[in-house]
Amino acid sequence: MAVRALPLLFLNLGGEMLYILDQRLRAQSIPGEKARKEEHPVLQQTQGLFVFAVMNDIITTMFNKKFMEELFKPQELYSKKALRTVYDRLAHASIMRLNQASMDKLYDLMTMAFKYQVLLCPRPKDILLVTFNHLDTIKDFIHDAPGILNQVDETFRQLIETYGALSAGEFQLIRQTLLVFFQDMHIRVSIFLKDKVQNSNGRFVLPISGPVPWGTEVPGLIRMFNQNGDEVKRTEFTTAGNYVTPRREGSFDLYGDRVLKLGTNMYSVSRPVETHMSGSSKNSASRAKENIAPNPLAKEELNFLARLLGGLEVKKPGGSEMGFRLNLFTTDEEEEHAALTRPEELSYQVVNIEATQEPGRRAELSRILGELEVAEPRPESGGKGEDLLALMDGL
């Protein structure tokens, strides 16, 4: 498994999350009285400023310097549930709130969009261009906030420094690691279904036409060489697809034309984004139960997750200010129905626990986390700092 895949997974899924939230915030009517916020008093005037403020809060948290430093350390991917916990925390880094069904739908849309982009990448290295497309669009969300722009630009530089010198083989390993992560996810998304790029069973339809990877030739010609390396014969053959040579390679610089369109905002034009569980997925989900055997790597995974989340500060509404609830469904009734009909195995419940040293509290946390083993507090930490339970407080 590639130890450099996690930053690409996090940033691309985060970019998709921001695309969806921006679209839904603008589509959902926001009354003025719900838009009050101390840090942004002018939000009472326009909905656009409210959207800008919410997006700013989330992007600021997402590109927190300490968080990025931990993220870019070489490490393996961790479980889907652990990753989902990070995005739940991230989505609630402003006064916006999503309930369980909307958060599930948001995560489904994020994962299926990025899975499709990874599948369509002409060459493994182009995953980096997909990431740059996400960051370019994120910068458009915050073009009037120079402080946050600097945070995103710093992440750009880290990406260039970390991935710029990787070989084609290393990028191939990263791509395979990402595909393994997504391989059991087959959620149907209306956008993909309407564009006929996804079948009714949730599996994607890959094109057999279009541009070939940069640096390669259009298929249709076989060359034969002798032992001296001289070409001695050519044979042409007919291909089923209509292939073209790309006009130029996408730019891997801080600023430039990425050429590749994967990773750009597909919600820039208002479109429905319903998700559906396919029949086969429902059946397999009801049969596939979580493995109850203890995972020996789970403790280390939680410790790392706790370190990451240590840099995420969730903003809680203060005083009489109420958090704004965002609904990713058309109506509240649809949201409630989705929550009731979603297979239990596909729900990612996030629990709030007040972490203390009491054995009862520790046992409760251990029970909720299932097979994940909770580390005992270190005597020298005094139950703070490196103590896993203290770090997990507030999740």
Q: What is the 3-state secondary structure (H, E, C) of 316-344?
A: CCCCCCCCEECCCCCCHHHHHHHHHHCCH
More confident residue, 208 or 204: 204
For residue 171, pLDDT beyond 50? yes
Of 211, 390, 363, 183, nearest to 307 by C-alpha is 390
Question: What DSSP state is assigned to residue 285?
Answer: H
317: pLDDT strictly greater than 80: no
The mean per-residue pLDDT over the stretch 278-282 comes to 48
Alpha carbon distance 350, 337 (integer Å): 19
pTM of the model: 0.72
371/82 Cα distance (integer angstroms): 13
Which residue did the predictor score with more confidence, 13 or 376? 13
What's the pLDDT tens digit per position in 333-390?
A: 666 666 666 665 555 554 443 334 444 544 443 444 443 333 333 333 333 223 322 3
Query: Regarding predicted confidence, which is higher, 268 or 5?
Result: 5
Do residues 124 and 346 lie in contact, with contact meaning Cβ atoms separated by under 8 Å? Answer: no
Distance separating alpha carbons of residues 364 and 394, to the nearest angstrom: 15
pLDDT at site 300: 53
C-alpha triplet 65, 69, 75: angle, nearest 5°: 150
> Average pLDDT over the chain, rounded to whole?
75
Per-domain residue ranges of the chain: 5-32+41-207+250-267+322-350+360-372
Buried b (16+ CB within 10 A) or exposed e, 154-170: ebbeebeeebeebeeeb
